[in-house]
Amino acid sequence: RPDEFRSPETVSLRQILVPTMNEARDVRRRLLKDPRSFPALAQTLSRAPEASAGGLMGSFTRGQLPPELDKAAFALAPGQISDPVQTAFGFHVLRLDSKQPSREPSLEESREEIRSRLRRQKVDHRVQQFVAGLMARAKVNHEAAQSSSHR
């Protein structure tokens, strides 16, 4: 089952979070003129926790972000600036720093994980056999148990 080892598509993002749509539009306009100003603008304008890190949010797979941000982020191309995105937190302007496509690792890359899973399966099977053997030998004689309880 090769897809068990598939790594998901990943995006690395920056964001600037502001309280109003007008501010978000202004931020986006400024970024379109000078995309390299993103870290500086994030530090001075953003209300997001990662503002001091130039807006760098980190890497995410689908479903890790709020749905509105997830949809916007995965639609961007590297270096592209999003339209303002509204969430319960305010208005976000995103920049996609990089995108890693979903990929299936080579057999060599998966070899150790496959070995580990096979060892676990073998141990699980042995434990099940051992428990089944114990249960088979531990049959309770209900008549003997009842007669000894009446003494």
Instruction: Give me the residue spans of the domains in the chain.
Output: 7-100, 107-149
pLDDT on residue 75: 97
Q: What phi and psi values does residue 105 have, to the nearest 5 degrees?
A: -70, 160
Instruction: Tell me how far apart the alpha carbons of residues 142 and 148 are, in angstroms, rounded to a whole number.
Output: 10
pLDDT on residue 28: 98
pLDDT at 63 over 60: yes
pTM across the whole model: 0.67
Please state, as a whole number, how many other Cβ atoms lie within 10 Å of the Cβ of residue 24.
Answer: 23
Instruction: Tell me how far apart the alpha carbons of residues 62 and 19 are, in angstroms, rounded to a whole number.
Output: 25
pLDDT on residue 151: 59
Helix (H, G, I), strand (E, B) or coil at 102: coil
Buried b (16+ CB within 10 A) or exposed e, 138-147: eeeeeeeeee
pLDDT at 2 over 60: no
Beta carbons of 14 and 97 less than 8 angstroms apart = yes
Ranges assigned E (strand) in the chain: 10-18, 56-61, 85-87, 90-100
Beta carbons of 16 and 55 less than 8 angstroms apart = yes
Write the pLDDT tens digit of every residue in 4-51: 667 789 999 999 999 999 999 999 999 999 999 999 999 999 999 999
Q: What phi and psi values does residue 79 have, to the nearest 5 degrees?
A: 90, -10
Instruction: Tell me how far apart the alpha carbons of residues 59 and 12 are, in angstroms, rounded to a whole number.
Output: 4
In CATH, the architecture of 7-100 is: Roll (3.10)
Written as six digits, the tokens of 16 are 């600037």
Strand partners, 94: 15
Q: Which residues, 6+ apart, have CB-to-CB distance to 24 below 8 Å?
A: 16, 18, 84, 91, 92, 93
